[in-house]
Amino acid sequence: MTNNLHTPNDTQAPGPTVASVLRRGYAEYADLPAVVDLSGNVTTYRELGRDARRLVAGFGSLGATKGDRVVVLTKNRSECFTIDHALAIGGFVRVALSYRLHQREVAEIVHDAGARIVIVDGERTSELAAELASFSGRLVSIDDVSAPTAIPFSSLFGDAEAEAVDIRPDDLVWMPYTSGTSGKPKGVMHTHRSLLSILRNILVELPGASTDDFLVHTAPLTHLSGYAMMAYFMRGAQQLALDHFDPGQLLSVVEKHRATVLPLVPTMINMLLPTLESGQYDVSSVHTVIYGGSPIAPDRLARAIKAFGPVFVQSYGLTEMPYNSYLSKQDHDFDPAGTVPERLASAGRVSPFVEMRLMTADGPAADGESGEIQVRGDAAMSGYWNLPAETAETLLEGGWIATGDVGRMTDGFLHVVDRKKDMIVSGGFNVYPTEVENAIYSLPEVAEVAVVGIPDERWGETVHAVIALREGCEVTQDQVEQACLSSIAPYKRPRTVEFVDELPKTGTGKIKRREVKERFWIGRDRLVNG
């Protein structure tokens, strides 16, 4: 195809891109089913490619060109597949956000990314239109809900199909946002080259991926499921999206469609157990459950293995460089009548395509000693969008990425034991204490606050706020929650609030957040939970 040829003077070496791999799939798997919905409608790979090219043309009609950022804010739905394919083959940059973000958080990211287009589910169109009153780009509503500034998604599909775009391996393709301890969202830049490396790493650990596979996505396509989605599309699998997690519905869909692959976060595995163990659904078709995003308690993982069999694959990574280690299916295989093996508490072995080191203040950690996890490989981000100083803090000399996580290596297995940056993982979602603390500080009665993650059997961790009030003031937990709901996503609000006279501080007056946290984790061997 002439659009993919480079002139002899090109300084960038040609190579495959996500776009070229997807276009190859439209031809190679043309008549195979690609997308199935709950009503039984089937879209073939040929039709998916056609719809993606039509949508690229539709984006072009809105003034979008190669390299433009497109924000996507939706629940899981069949349209997500078409959108993601169109963004990749059209040369756009996918900025997929958690649907649970507050509209102010979404607006901040839209402006930071300099987005050209924002695509949103209908139920959130009006609130986002109001928040983006000064937005110079175009707002697209998937459900065609009336809003003065919104364009119906369906209107973007005309008869015209876009021509192939000349895309290079080092062009940006995905830019997920992650927050730092300061709470400022940061765009993590991934190129076609790094995203293909990520997808390769996934497929190496899942060698059975094929046209016989059927994926059901109930984990967010903006996060864990999104990577699995692209990897399996590269192998001609068929896929179905569920817009929310319901144990009975999920297992019913698995049984009906003889689904083979389930990407899940640990909280979902926990919540599946009672229904799964009831034996009312046939899940024998499932040969792979991909999970990650937060740790899971070994005893509950063992229960899931007894119900599903040794079909689990765990991965550890970060937005800046996902999928760095894997706990394989073989590692999950054990005698249910025996002792739960220690390796089930680990994040597995390091990927063959990743270099990893554990660093202490004095240098490399010894075997069994804890240190900061640092990784290096071709799946690494290019940097943070328009944040050179923050990029320099994370991308270290020699290409190493500082993860901010603390781990130890025992018998070849990586154990993640703490988070250097105090991040909380609740139900598979990242919560950064400073964001929550800043929201609580909006209450004038609050003198000091420390937000920490505390153990929770269902969510792994929940957000807990420890507050010291100004003298003579009173505040209720409901007021604290409302202060948070006015500026941050609901899942970030504290589920429990504690009032104290004073918080522990260093000699320089800095609150000792770690000391606040540690008393909730007494008797546990790590400061994260599952």
Which residue type does 286 have? V
Residues of the domain holding 400: 354-419
Provide the token pair at 349: 């072995």
Q: Are residues 97 and 41 in the same domain?
A: yes
The CATH number linked to 409 is 2.30.38.10
Nearest Cα to 57, choosing from 156, 124, 142, 201? 156
Q: Are residues 75 and 126 in the same domain?
A: yes
Render pLDDT for 177-214 as a digit per residue (tens, 0 to 9): 986 544 578 999 999 999 999 999 999 998 889 999 99
Rg (CA), the chain: 23
The CATH number linked to 33 is 3.40.50.12780
Q: What is the mean pLDDT of residues 454-466?
A: 92
Answer yes or no: is 29 within a domain: yes
Q: Are residues 157 and 74 in the same domain?
A: yes
Answer yes or no: is 122 within a domain: yes
- Please check the confidence at residue 295 and state whether its pLDDT lies above 80: no
Q: Are residues 440 and 485 in the same domain?
A: yes
CB of 416 closer than 8 Å to CB of 427? no
Which residues touch 269 (CB under 8 Å, ≥6 apart)?
Answer: 289, 291, 296, 300, 301, 304
- Please check the confidence at residue 308 and state whether its pLDDT lies above 70: yes
Which residues touch 24 (CB under 8 Å, ≥6 apart)?
Answer: none
Provide the token pair at 34: 């690609």
Q: Are residues 453 and 506 in the same domain?
A: yes
Q: Are residues 148 and 17 in the same domain?
A: yes
Q: How many CA atoms lie within 13 A of 255 on its CB side?
A: 11
**Residue 9: pLDDT band with limits 50, 70, 90:** very low
**Residue 337: pLDDT band with limits 50, 70, 90:** confident
The pLDDT of residue 482: 95
Q: What is the mean pLDDT of residues 259-277?
A: 92
Answer yes or no: is 173 within a domain: yes
How far is the CA of 441 from the CAs of 106, 435, 467, 474, in angstroms? 21, 10, 10, 14
Q: What is the mean pLDDT of the chain?
A: 91
Q: Are residues 411 and 428 in the same domain?
A: no
DSSP 231-259: HHHTTT-EEEE-SS--HHHHHHHHHHHT-
Q: Are residues 371 and 455 in the same domain?
A: no
Q: How many domains does the structure of the chain reveal?
A: 3
Identify the three-state secondary structure at position 58. Answer: helix
Gap between the Cα atoms of 239 and 267, Å rounded: 22
- Please check the confidence at residue 3 and state whether its pLDDT lies above 50: no
Of 375, 400, 419, the residue that ends a domain is: 419
Q: Are residues 367 and 513 in the same domain?
A: no
- Please check the confidence at residue 7 and state whether its pLDDT lies above 50: no
Q: Classify the C-alpha dihedral 57-188-358-331 as positive or negative.
A: negative
Of 403, 419, 435, the residue that ends a domain is: 419
**Residue 530: pLDDT band with limits 50, 70, 90:** low
Q: Are residues 442 and 407 in the same domain?
A: no
Answer yes or no: is 104 within a domain: yes
Strand 33-36 and strand 42-44: the pairing is: antiparallel
Of 160, 176, 193, the residue that ends a domain is: 193
Answer yes or no: is 59 within a domain: yes
Identify the three-state secondary structure at position 104. Answer: helix
Q: Are residues 358 and 398 in the same domain?
A: yes
Terminal Cα distance for the chain, rounded? 49
CB of 82 closer than 8 Å to CB of 55? yes
Answer yes or no: is 434 within a domain: yes
pTM of the model: 0.87
Answer yes or no: is 76 within a domain: yes
Answer yes or no: is 213 within a domain: no
Top pLDDT among 37 and 424 is at 37
The pLDDT of residue 529: 67
